[in-house]
């Protein structure tokens, strides 16, 4: 009986821990959500030809990356290609493994992630042209980087708009000066990862000479809490919820955060066989910037639109599809 | 749970086949110190793993002794505090719900308690933060309590209702008042079942308190989440193992309490 009880206790604890793990990393993995008609017409159909070719498109699990995945799918279809939708794979390590193992042919990643997480470099001594450095180094892994996009989804700090206006805070240096005078306001809401990473809070505090009191939250709870339990919040610079919650992203005037410019990563074998892919997605990448992406993310996260619809709308607005 | 089950020792004593068994004395010593030794062993293994591995700055931040001790303290506080509140709510309520005069709203109250347990804790915690804009220790305790009230409530009711009717009648026949029957007969006889419910609640709370880290209440969940979000397996495993150790320890201590509090002569 004792053994039995002990075993059950261990099982309960293990189950609770597992539940946490699952809650933490199980993304929305609906594989085929790009419903509706395939995209047609526009400049893509005219300029590029992917007829008879088919590609497996993946993405990470968060909104922006899923939207980028859907843009990729619609664009390939507009150029006459076939696609299989495997967007919504959880975690950089997993998506990247899916790419290098050939399970998927392409997904969007970010220069900073490529440089640090994938290629194993540190954030100090960044090369001046990060995109070039990453794409050159990744050739050895048979991965081709297409881009870069001006879209830079980096970490950032944000405060309430009215506070920013009243106290004239525009940059992170302004924030440091303000907090050093108002120590009681120096609480930051942030999620675990930002608190642990050297290129997150510990580094920011050192670079700007400020010291925060920490309120650790799930990342999704940070946005609505800024201005309530904390003055400052951790954000990502293309998140639609920055505007929706009346926040302003502060300028990283000392350029502490690593650039995370988006680019389409494609298996080199696939990219070499279809040269139109690189030409076409370089154009699309160039049409994306933070402002645009924030709007697209907001349509999904705040208005509840489907990623596939938002993606087609974007391509249509830019004249890529008809 | 195990209220009516005999331990192997008792079973052996009754059937009189103790010849092949080790002497009762050494057996019972191991029964008390086996689990603590096992848990110490796990902690030692974790400590060795941390100290022999080349750890990077992220791991160092999460695996510092100070940090781990603080997280463990926060975790214990969350668990103990929420369990005490669970007891304060569920035991009196459970007693009340076995009285004649509560028969009318019995169904409704049990339904409410059921809802509390049916909603996933992560949902309750998010609800606290999003709907009521309430984060931190208090919010976590509310969520933990809501999820653990039911087992204690149900065991209290089952325990009291399971008392042999003839015993109660004998009591009343001796001229005991209703209150005296409850205090002197029903509650003492129900103690083992009630305690089994408390033990369940404690273990549930140790596990679910890991979620409190999502709303700034700290605890060992902080370490697990840090490990998951930065893909550091040693950190995740340390947090998870420490949670399991704490759950086993709390269950062990509750088991000891159960032995001591069990009315003599049962």
Examine the pLDDT at A4 and tell me if it is beyond 80.
Answer: no
Is the model more confident about B131 or about A57? A57
Are A5 and B251 inside 8 Å of each other by CB? yes
Report the pLDDT value the prediction gives residue A37, as an integer from 0 to 100.
63
Q: How confident is the model at residue B260 (pLDDT cuts 50, 70, 90)?
A: confident
Looking at CA atoms only, how far is residue B71 from chain A in angstroms? 13
HEC sequence for chain A = CHHHHHHHHHHHHHHHHHHHHHHHHCCCCCCCCCCCCCCCCHHHHHHCCCCCCEEEEECCCCHHHHHHHHHHHHHHHHCCCEEEEECCCCCHHHHHHHHHCCCCCEEEEEHHHHHHHHCCCCCCCCCCCHHHHHHHHHHHHCEEEECCCCCECCEEEEEEHHHHHHHCCCEHHHHHHHHHHCHHHCEEEECHHHHHCCCCHHHHHHHHCCCCEEEEECHHHHHHHECCCECEEEEECCCCHHHHCCEEECECCCCCCCCCEEEEEEEHHHHHHCHHHHHHHHHHHHCCCHHHHHHHHHHHHCCCCCHHHHHHHHHHHCCCCC
Report the pLDDT value the prediction gives residue B228, as an integer from 0 to 100.
86
Q: How confident is the model at residue B153 (pLDDT cuts 50, 70, 90)?
A: very high
Report the pLDDT value the prediction gives residue A26, as an integer from 0 to 100.
35
Report the pLDDT value the prediction gives residue B25, as an integer from 0 to 100.
53
Examine the pLDDT at B135 and tell me if it is beyond 50.
Answer: yes
Is the model more confident about A10 or about A239? A239
Contact with chain B for residue A31, Cβ under 8 A: no
Report the pLDDT value the prediction gives residue B134, as an integer from 0 to 100.
87
Residues in chain B within 8 Å Cβ distance of A218: 126, 129, 214-215
pLDDT for A282-295, tens place per residue? 999 999 999 999 99
Looking at CA atoms only, how far is residue B207 from chain A in angstroms? 5
Q: A 54-93 residues with CB below 8 A of B?
A: 91, 93
Is the model more confident about B165 or about A163? A163
pLDDT for A165-184, tens place per residue? 999 999 999 999 999 999 99
Are A91 and B251 inside 8 Å of each other by CB? no
Report the pLDDT value the prediction gives residue A125, as an integer from 0 to 100.
77
Of A12, A93, A197, the CB nearest to B204: A12
Report the pLDDT value the prediction gives residue A1, as an integer from 0 to 100.
40
* Average pLDDT of the segment spanning A244-265: 93
Report the pLDDT value the prediction gives residue A236, as an integer from 0 to 100.
92
Looking at CA atoms only, how far is residue A8 from chain B in angstroms? 10
Residues in chain B within 8 Å Cβ distance of A202: 57, 61
* Average pLDDT of the segment spanning B143-154: 90
Residues in chain A within 8 Å Cβ distance of B215: 217-218, 221
pLDDT for A258-273, tens place per residue? 899 999 999 999 999 9
Of A6, A15, A196, the CB nearest to B226: A196
Examine the pLDDT at B17 and tell me if it is beyond 60.
Answer: no
CA distance B168 to B157: 16
Contact with chain B for residue A26, Cβ under 8 A: no
Examine the pLDDT at B201 and tell me if it is beyond 80.
Answer: yes
* Average pLDDT of the segment spanning A9-16: 50
Q: How confident is the model at residue B141 (pLDDT cuts 50, 70, 90)?
A: very high
Q: B 245-264 residues with CB below 8 A of A?
A: 247-248, 251, 255
Of B2, B210, B215, the CB nearest to A20: B210
Are B135 and A13 inside 8 Å of each other by CB? no
Mean pLDDT estimate for chain A: 88
Report the pLDDT value the prediction gives residue B129, as an integer from 0 to 100.
85
Interface test with A, best of B56, B240, B245, B254 (most A CBs within 10 A): B240
Looking at CA atoms only, how far is residue A196 from chain B in angstroms? 6
pLDDT for A125-143, tens place per residue? 789 899 999 999 999 999 9
pLDDT for B78-134, tens place per residue? 999 999 999 999 999 999 998 888 888 888 888 887 887 788 888 888 888 888 888
Contact with chain A for residue B204, Cβ under 8 A: yes
Q: A 201-240 residues with CB below 8 A of B?
A: 202, 215-218, 221, 224-225, 228-229
Mean pLDDT estimate for chain B: 85
Q: How confident is the model at residue B26 (pLDDT cuts 50, 70, 90)?
A: low
Reported ipTM: the value is 0.74
* Average pLDDT of the segment spanning B246-252: 93
Q: How confident is the model at residue B266 (pLDDT cuts 50, 70, 90)?
A: low
Are B236 and A12 inside 8 Å of each other by CB? no
* Average pLDDT of the segment spanning A192-220: 92
Which chain A residue shows the shortest CA-CA distance from B211? A20
């Amino acid at each position: 009986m004792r053994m039995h009880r002990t075993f059950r206790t261990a099982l309960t604890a293990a189950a609770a821990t597992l539940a946490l793990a699952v809650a933490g990393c199980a993304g929305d993995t609906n594989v085929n959500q790009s419903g509706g008609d395939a995209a047609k017409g526009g400049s893509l159909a005219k300029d590029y030809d992917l007829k008879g070719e088919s590609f497996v498109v993946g993405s990470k699990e968060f909104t922006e990356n899923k939207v980028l995945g859907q843009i990729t799918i619609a664009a390939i279809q507009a150029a006459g290609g076939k696609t299989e939708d495997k967007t919504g794979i959880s975690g950089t390590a997993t998506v990247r493994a899916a790419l290098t193992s050939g399970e998927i042919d392409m997904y969007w990643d970010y220069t900073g992630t490529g440089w640090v997480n994938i290629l194993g470099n540190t954030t100090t001594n960044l090369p001046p042209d990060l995109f070039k450095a990453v794409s050159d180094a990744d050739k050895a892994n048979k991965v081709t980087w297409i881009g870069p996009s001006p879209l830079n989804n980096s970490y950032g700090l944000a405060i309430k708009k009215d506070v920013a206006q009243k106290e004239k805070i525009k940059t992170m240096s302004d924030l440091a000066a303000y907090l050093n005078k108002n120590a009681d306001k120096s609480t930051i809401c942030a999620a675990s990862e930002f608190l642990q990473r050297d290129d997150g809070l510990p580094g920011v505090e050192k670079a700007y000479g400020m010291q925060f009191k920490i309120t650790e939250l799930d990342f999704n709870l940070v946005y609505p809490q800024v201005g309530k339990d904390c003055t400052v919040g951790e954000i990502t610079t293309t998140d639609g919820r920055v505007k929706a919650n009346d926040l302003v992203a502060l300028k990283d005037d000392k350029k502490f955060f690593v650039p995370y410019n988006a680019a389409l990563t494609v298996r080199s074998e696939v990219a070499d066989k279809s040269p139109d892919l690189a030409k076409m997605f370089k154009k699309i990448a160039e049409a994306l910037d933070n402002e645009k992406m924030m709007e697209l993310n907001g349509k999904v996260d705040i208005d509840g639109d489907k990623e596939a619809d938002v993606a087609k709308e974007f391509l249509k607005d830019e004249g890529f599809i008809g | 749970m195990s209220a009516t089950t005999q331990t192997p020792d008792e079973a052996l004593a009754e059937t009189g086949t103790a010849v092949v068994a080790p002497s009762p004395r050494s057996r019972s010593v191991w029964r008390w110190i086996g689990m603590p030794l096992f848990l110490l062993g796990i902690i030692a293994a974790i400590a060795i793993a941390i100290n022999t591995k080349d750890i990077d700055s992220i791991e160092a931040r999460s695996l510092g002794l100070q940090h781990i001790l603080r997280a463990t303290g926060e975790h214990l506080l969350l668990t103990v505090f929420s369990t005490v509140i669970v007891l304060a709510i569920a035991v009196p309520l459970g007693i009340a719900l076995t009285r004649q005069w509560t028969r009318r709203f019995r169904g409704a109250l049990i339904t409410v308690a059921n809802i509390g347990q049916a909603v996933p804790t992560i949902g309750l915690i998010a609800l606290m933060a999003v709907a009521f804009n309430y984060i931190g220790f208090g919010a976590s305790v509310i969520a933990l309590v809501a999820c653990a009230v039911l087992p204690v409530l149900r065991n209290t009711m089952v325990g009291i209702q399971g008392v042999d009717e003839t015993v109660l009648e004998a009591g009343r026949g001796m001229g005991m008042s209703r209150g005296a029957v409850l205090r002197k007969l029903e509650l003492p006889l129900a103690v083992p079942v009630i305690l089994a419910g408390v033990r369940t609640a404690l273990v549930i709370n140790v596990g679910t308190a890991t979620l409190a880290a999502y709303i700034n209440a700290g605890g060992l969940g902080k370490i697990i989440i840090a490990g998951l979000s930065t893909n550091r397996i040693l950190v995740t495993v340390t947090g998870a193992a420490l949670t399991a150790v704490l759950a086993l320890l709390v269950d062990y201590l509750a088991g000891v309490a159960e032995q001591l509090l069990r009315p003599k002569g049962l």
